[in-house]
């Protein structure tokens, strides 16, 4: 791994800790395992049908029977499904790098939000982790490796200690090597490690249920700042595909993202299924640190390269921020075959502390802090008549925000859904405040304050750009959808119209008013609020069908209005897959062979600011339309599946050049071979 990642080599100790716990469970607790399942010939029958998966959403709907383990081959070879967010993403071209969702999605999280989401894709969401109901110990193993250094490793173990108690632990690791300005093919770029401890308990009479988890993640990525590029008559961006020979802007920059979370969800049935009380305790911490030990100044202009300026230290950058949040949710829920409801109240206590290095003495001093105490109320009510009619209303309200004894605006989201057979319609409206990072930031290269508080008492605060408190963003979205299976065909089509008012975004151009005179200057990545209303028209279509043993799965999303200031969304994003599927060797082996193509139309993609971990709107780089084609072979032998894949097999074909840009000045990985193994043990 890179020298930048050496101080954080904790994966070995975590693995030893993990295996120690696994060994302890295996040696000390075998007598507590439940009775074996036997057939008429007294052979042990453990398998996918004796292991069930439950999630928090199931418990909160009083559905305790669980679901079967996923043993399908679908999407195992697709890189989007290797991590914890399978949506289409814009990233920096490699595993472990910063990313953001490519297509429009409304925000339903109200109140205080840290706003450092560049590495969310790689972190487990504690509200969606799987819990198990096992009749035998269950072990899941997954390993993926590519010739370009991409690596995915996951190992989890779960077993029941008696009939009503199940415990488990899991470890996963994502890693990648540098593809730009790499001195060797094994020079590390990113490393992510996650350790999860989880447990599920229910009483004998099924009246009380509890889910508990401790989730901790450590993410390290060497930031390169993209390819160093100076526009000339003889050089164009489409020629920057020498990969490891290309020079980058940053060589000593590192981003750290540490997260810890403790979550307990438990329910108690009061009056049958008609009335159940529940409580959710959730404590989380997120620590971000950006450091650069080498700030380079141009010898001719004496201006800082890559960064806009230095505000705190001219020799190095070390900006830190730690966000802590404690939430307690209390509610009531119940359901009948036709009606389901849930009402709740939630209290949040959030705290943000920021620090930075000052001067050449490397003194770490606080720069600013923010504290929030917030109350939310919400609920959902739904009605269903067989499979023909369904109606649902859900919403949440935060009536008042308290910030240092000053009051802000209330926030809310409300959603109404109606379905008649295959046709459904949905209306969504939400009003939410900017993230804490959008409201306030003070580091070595950027400073702004849109929180409505005064920085005059802080001697280390610098004048903020546009020191105006941001308004809430208002979103209204109307969606119509048709989902229907017709013989071998399944069609899911939707059309949405979205209006967005007072959008807060990060931009490359900032307007400053001095003595009543407006002036525009360039400082990439500054948050602004859009005065005009954005209008989006989104059409989405997915079509799945088969002709004999040939299967087709195609989907596309077209967006109108996603260009211009504030938002950048490609006009068309499409993905198509075709494969042949059949049994071989007297049904001893099951396999697929096929191809998959991803297509993205040209657009002015977001640039990335590593020191703030934010993607921002830019106008100087147009990402050409491109397609990435993969061919794969995947086989399944009982509980083991193996896939072989050639990714980006079409590199250099047609008029797409020798590569593509995942983000401005960040190239996607070249053609490479990938190997993956998944193994599930049920005893």
Position 182 pLDDT exceeds 90:
no
Tell which wins on pLDDT, 465 or 251: 251
Tell which wins on pLDDT, 413 or 508: 413
User: Which pLDDT does position 285 carry in this prediction?
Assistant: 97
Instruction: Name the pTM for this structure.
Output: 0.88
The whole-number average pLDDT for the span 593-598 is 95
The whole-number average pLDDT for the span 246-257 is 93
Lowest mean pLDDT among 5-14, 249-258, 389-398, 433-442: 5-14
The whole-number average pLDDT for the span 107-122 is 95
User: Which pLDDT does position 41 carry in this prediction?
Assistant: 45
Position 584 pLDDT exceeds 90:
no
Task: Give the span between the Cα atoms of 550 and 321, in whole angstroms.
Answer: 52
The whole-number average pLDDT for the span 309-318 is 89
The whole-number average pLDDT for the span 481-490 is 92
Position 6 pLDDT exceeds 60:
no
| pLDDT confidence band for 301 (50 / 70 / 90) | confident
User: Which pLDDT does position 236 carry in this prediction?
Assistant: 61
Position 86 pLDDT exceeds 70:
yes
Paired with 358 in beta bridges are 363
Q: How many CA atoms lie within 13 A of 611 on its CB side?
A: 26
Strands (E), 224-275: 253-269
Tell me: the pLDDT tens digits for 24-61? 444 334 434 444 444 444 454 677 788 889 999 999 98
The whole-number average pLDDT for the span 225-241 is 70
Tell which wins on pLDDT, 497 or 206: 497
| pLDDT confidence band for 19 (50 / 70 / 90) | very low
Mean pLDDT of the chain: 86
Task: Give the span between the Cα atoms of 677 and 643, in whole angstroms.
Answer: 7
Determine contact, residues 330/264, Cβ cutoff 8 Å: no
**Token pair in block for residue 425:** 């319609």
| pLDDT confidence band for 519 (50 / 70 / 90) | very low
Tell me: the pLDDT tens digits for 358-408? 877 678 889 999 999 999 999 999 998 888 899 999 999 998 754 444 446
The whole-number average pLDDT for the span 666-677 is 94
Task: Give the span between the Cα atoms of 406 and 412, in whole angstroms.
Answer: 19
Residues 6+ apart with CB under 8 A from 627: 597, 598, 599, 600, 650, 656
Determine contact, residues 628/600, Cβ cutoff 8 Å: no
CB atoms within 10 A of CB 414: 15
Alpha-carbon separation of residue 607 from 92, 97, 105, 505 (angstroms): 9, 13, 19, 12
Paired with 395 in beta bridges are 379, 414
Lowest mean pLDDT among 2-16, 111-125, 284-298: 2-16
288, 266, 91, 270: which is closest to 174 by C-alpha? 91
Task: Give the span between the Cα atoms of 259 and 571, in whole angstroms.
Answer: 35
Task: Give the span between the Cα atoms of 188 and 265, in whole angstroms.
Answer: 38
User: Which pLDDT does position 428 carry in this prediction?
Assistant: 97
| pLDDT confidence band for 68 (50 / 70 / 90) | confident
User: Which pLDDT does position 181 carry in this prediction?
Assistant: 86
Task: Give the span between the Cα atoms of 71 and 50, in whole angstroms.
Answer: 13
Residue 148, phi then psi, degrees to nearest 5: -90, 5
| Percent share of the chain, pLDDT over 90 | 63
User: Which pLDDT does position 576 carry in this prediction?
Assistant: 96
């Amino acid at each position: 791994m890179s020298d930048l990642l050496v101080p954080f080599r904790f994966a070995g100790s975590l693995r030893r800790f993990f295996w120690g716990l696994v060994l302890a469970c295996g040696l000390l607790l075998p007598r507590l395992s439940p009775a074996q399942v036997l057939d008429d010939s007294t052979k042990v029958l453990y398998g996918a049908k004796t292991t069930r998966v439950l999630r928090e959403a199931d418990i909160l709907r009083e559905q305790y029977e669980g679901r079967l383990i996923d043993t399908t081959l679908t999407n195992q070879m697709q890189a989007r499904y290797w991590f914890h967010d399978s949506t289409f993403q814009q990233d920096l071209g490699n595993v472990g790098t910063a990313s953001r969702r490519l297509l429009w999605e409304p925000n339903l999280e109200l109140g205080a939000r840290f706003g450092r989401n560049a590495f969310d894709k790689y972190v487990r969401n504690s509200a969606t982790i799987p819990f198990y109901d096992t009749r035998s110990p269950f072990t899941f193993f997954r390993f993926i490796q590519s010739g370009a250094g991409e690596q995915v490793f996951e190992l989890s173990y779960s077993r029941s200690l008696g009939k009503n108690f199940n415990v488990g632990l899991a470890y996963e690791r994502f890693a990648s090597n540098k593809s730009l300005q790499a001195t060797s093919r094994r020079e590390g770029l990113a490393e992510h490690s996650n350790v999860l401890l989880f447990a599920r308990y229910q009483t004998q009479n099924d009246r009380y249920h509890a889910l508990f988890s401790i989730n901790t993640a450590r993410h390290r990525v060497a930031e390169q700042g993209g390819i160093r590029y100076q526009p000339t008559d003889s050089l164009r961006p489409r020629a920057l595909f020498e990969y490891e020979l290309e020079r980058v802007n940053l060589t000593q920059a590192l981003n750290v993202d540490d997260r810890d979370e403790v979550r307990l969800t438990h329910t108690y049935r009061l009056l049958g299924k008609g009335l159940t009380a529940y409580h959710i305790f959730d404590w989380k911490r997120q620590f971000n640190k950006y450091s650069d030990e080498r700030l380079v100044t141009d010898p001719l202009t004496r201006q800082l390269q890559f960064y806009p300026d230095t505000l705190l230290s001219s020799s190095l950058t070390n900006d830190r921020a730690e966000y802590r949040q404690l939430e307690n949710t209390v509610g009531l829920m119940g359901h009948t075959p036709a009606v389901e409801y849930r009402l709740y109240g939630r209290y949040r206590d959030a705290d943000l502390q920021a620090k930075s290095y000052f001067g050449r003495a490397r003194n770490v001093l606080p720069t600013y802090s923010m504290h929030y105490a917030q109350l939310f109320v919400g609920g959902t009510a739904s009605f269903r008549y067989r499979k023909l009619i369904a109606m649902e209303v859900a919403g949440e309200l935060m009536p008042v925000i308290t910030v240092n004894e000053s009051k802000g605006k209330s926030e809310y989201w409300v959603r109404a859904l109606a379905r008649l057979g295959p046709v459904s319609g949905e209306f969504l409206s939400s009003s939410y405040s900017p993230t804490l990072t959008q409201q306030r930031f003070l580091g070595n290269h950027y400073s702004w304050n849109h929180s409505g508080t005064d920085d005059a008492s802080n001697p280390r605060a610098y004048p903020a750009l546009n020191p105006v408190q941001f308004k809430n963003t208002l979103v209204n979205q109307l969606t119509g959808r048709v989902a229907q299976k017709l013989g071998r065909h399944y069609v899911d089509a939707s059309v949405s119209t979205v209006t967005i008012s007072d959008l807060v975004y990060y931009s490359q151009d900032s307007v400053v008013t001095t003595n009543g005179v407006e002036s525009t200057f360039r400082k990439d990545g500054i948050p602004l609020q859009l005065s005009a209303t954005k209008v989006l028209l989104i059409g989405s279509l997915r079509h799945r069908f088969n002709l004999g043993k040939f299967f087709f799965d195609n989907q596309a999303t077209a967006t109108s209005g996603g260009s211009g200031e504030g938002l950048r969304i490609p006009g068309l994003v499409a993905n198509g897959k075709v494969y042949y599927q059949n049994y071989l060797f007297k049904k001893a082996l099951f396999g697929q062979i096929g191809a998959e193509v991803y297509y993205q139309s040209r657009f002015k993609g977001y640039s990335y600011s590593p020191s703030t971990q934010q993607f921002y709107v830019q106008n100087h780089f147009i990402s050409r339309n491109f397609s990435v084609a993969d061919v794969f072979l995947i086989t399944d032998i009982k509980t083991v599946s193996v896939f072989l894949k050639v990714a980006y097999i079409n590199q250099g074909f047609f008029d797409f050049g020798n590569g593509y840009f995942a983000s401005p000045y960040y190239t996607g990985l070249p053609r490479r071979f990938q190997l993956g193994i998944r193994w599930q043990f049920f005893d």
